[in-house]
Amino acid sequence: MPGRGGLCHSAGMATAPDPEAQRRTLLREQDDAIAEHLAASMRSGELQSAQSYGKPLREVEGWAETPLEFRLPFKVLKNAGMPPPELELFKARAALREQLDGTADEATQRVLRQRLSELEQLIALRLEGMRASGKL
């Protein structure tokens, strides 16, 4: 049973509270606070007046092409103002694929496929290097 100062007392011995239980409690409290703010915004009409209300969120360029295990770390770095160079490679790959899909000329398609292949090899080498070095 929790006592003062967040310690648990069991058979006369004080033990520290479970950090995972504390984390879950904090997350639940944060979720409740967010839900409360959203409900208040809905009641006031603030949400409905937003330009993007009811519309799907715009997909970030290159997000779908970014491997799942790299999305969160890359997003954190990007939000910190330090986007990894691999992010630009993913955007370039997405742009090349879009160009390839929009081109009917076979000679141009061949050139674009070659560039795309080279870029995909570079991306694969970079990602494998990151995995192997433990940077991710």
The per-residue pLDDT for range 13-65, each reduced to its tens digit, is: 566 779 889 989 998 999 999 999 989 988 998 888 888 888 887 777 667 77
- Over the stretch 91-110, which tens digit does the pLDDT of each residue have? 899 899 999 999 999 999 99
Give the up-direction half-sphere exposure of residue 3: CA atoms within 13 A in the CB hemisphere: 10
Q: Flag whether pLDDT at 85 surpasses 60.
A: yes
pLDDT in the model for residue 134: 73
Rg (CA), the chain: 24
Q: How far apart are CA 30 and CA 36, in angstroms?
A: 10
Read off the pLDDT of each residue in 65-88 and give the average, rounded to a whole number: 82
- Whether 2 has a pLDDT exceeding 60, the answer reads no
Q: What is the pLDDT of residue 57?
A: 75
* Cα–Cα separations (whole angstroms), residue 33 to 39, 42, 48, 50: 10, 14, 20, 21
Task: Output 122 or 15, whichever has higher pLDDT.
Answer: 122
Measured CA to CA, the distance from residue 112 to residue 89 in angstroms comes to: 15
Selected residue with higher pLDDT from 6 and 94? 94
- Ordered by start, the domain boundaries in the chain are 4-44, 68-133
Q: What pLDDT score was predicted for residue 99?
A: 94
Compute the distance between CA of residue 129 and CA of residue 136 in angstroms, rounded to an integer: 10
Per-residue pLDDT at 56: 84
Between 111 and 14, the higher pLDDT residue: 111
Instruction: Supply the pLDDT for residue 12.
Output: 54
